[in-house]
């Protein structure tokens, strides 16, 4: 049931009107101010439809005009080889993140959006939907609740050679994001930031409520931004 809710979204976007200069990425950013490696994004194969690629990204406050481009070329940095995928993004974790769901056997994706009169582009994401499908797991992490209302989560590393960083989300049962953090280590304690290397939590997260059920999710992300494994399970706070 958790996986069903996790991957089911409602599309709030209206169909876009496409222009010729949007189709190729290099043409779209020509004569515009843009910054590379700015959008936080990664991709995973879907847990229900394995041939579907879920491209997740963090929509910063004030961002708009979300776009997804794909490339079949070996050179991830050649923006003249990236073509627009005319799909809308869906809210994810109740809109704290967003996701594009696409069927593609391309080699690379980039996500971009517009903010403060400039275009921000993600680091290229290597698609491994056929070569290294994402592993989806339940109940494969440990919870230490010796410190009341501050559970500490630990989990195994799917592949140390493939891992670059871990993305953790603690959410309510209806998947409203409470905290979103990145660590290099395979552990995280709510809400301690001593090993957090990137934090997308908005403001100060609330105290957890004893006896309430929450959901903890971990994404094991590779250096080229492919998700090797997703771990997701509910737990009751002690």
Q: What is the pLDDT of residues 12-62, one digit of tens each?
A: 444 454 556 889 999 999 999 999 999 999 999 999 999 999 999 999 999
CB atoms within 10 A of CB 172: 14
C-alpha–C-alpha distance, residues 59 and 62, integer Å: 8
What is the CATH topology of the domain spanning 135-236?
Immunoglobulin-like (2.60.40)
Looking at per-residue pLDDT, the higher value among 10 and 53 belongs to 53
Ranges of each domain in the chain = 2-126, 135-236
Task: Mean pLDDT check: name the lowest of 17-31, 98-112, 116-130, 139-153.
Answer: 17-31
Residue 206: the pLDDT is 95
The CATH number corresponding to 2-126 among 1.10.10, 2.60.40, 3.10.590, 1.10.3470 equals: 2.60.40
What pLDDT is recorded for position 82?
98
- Note whether 28 and 20 are within 8 A (CB): no
**Exposure string for 181-217, b = 16+ CB within 10 A, e = fewer:** bbbeebebbbbeeeebeeebbeeeeeebeeeeebbbb
Report CA-CA distances (Å) from 84 to 4, 27, 41. Answer: 28, 11, 16
Residue-wise pLDDT tens digits, 167-225: 999 999 999 999 999 999 999 999 999 999 999 999 999 999 999 999 999 999 999 99
Asked, colleague to colleague, whether 2-126 and 135-236 share their fold, the answer is yes
Range name among 44-48, 113-117, 139-143 with the lowest pLDDT average: 139-143
Work out the average pLDDT over 76-80: 97
Predicted structure pTM score: 0.90
The answer on pLDDT for 147 being more than 90 is yes
**Rounded CA separation 132/158 (Å):** 12
């Amino acid at each position: 049931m958790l996986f069903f809710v996790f991957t089911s979204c409602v599309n709030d976007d209206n169909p876009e009107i496409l222009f010729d200069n949007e189709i190729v990425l290099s043409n779209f950013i020509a004569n515009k101010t843009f910054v590379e490696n700015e959008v936080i994004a990664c991709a995973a194969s879907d847990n229900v439809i394995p041939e579907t690629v879920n491209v997740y990204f963090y929509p910063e406050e004030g961002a708009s005009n979300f776009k997804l481009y794909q490339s079949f070329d070996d050179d991830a940095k050649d923006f003249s080889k990236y073509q627009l995928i005319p799909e809308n993004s869906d809210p994810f974790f109740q809109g704290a993140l967003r996701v594009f769901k696409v069927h593609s056997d391309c080699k690379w994706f980039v996500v971009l959006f517009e903010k403060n009169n400039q275009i921000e582009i993600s680091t290229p994401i290597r698609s491994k939907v056929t070569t290294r499908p994402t592993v989806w797991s339940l109940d494969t992490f440990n919870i230490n609740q010796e410190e009341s209302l501050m559970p500490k989560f630990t989990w195994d590393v799917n592949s140390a050679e493939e891992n670059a960083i871990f993305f953790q989300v603690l959410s309510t049962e209806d998947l409203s994001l409470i905290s979103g953090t990145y660590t290099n280590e395979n552990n995280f304690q709510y809400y301690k930031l001593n090993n957090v290397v990137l934090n997308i939590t908005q403001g100060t997260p609330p105290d957890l409520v004893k006896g309430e059920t929450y959901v903890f999710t971990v994404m094991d992300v590779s250096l080229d931004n492919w998700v090797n494994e997703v771990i997701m399970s509910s737990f009751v706070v002690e």
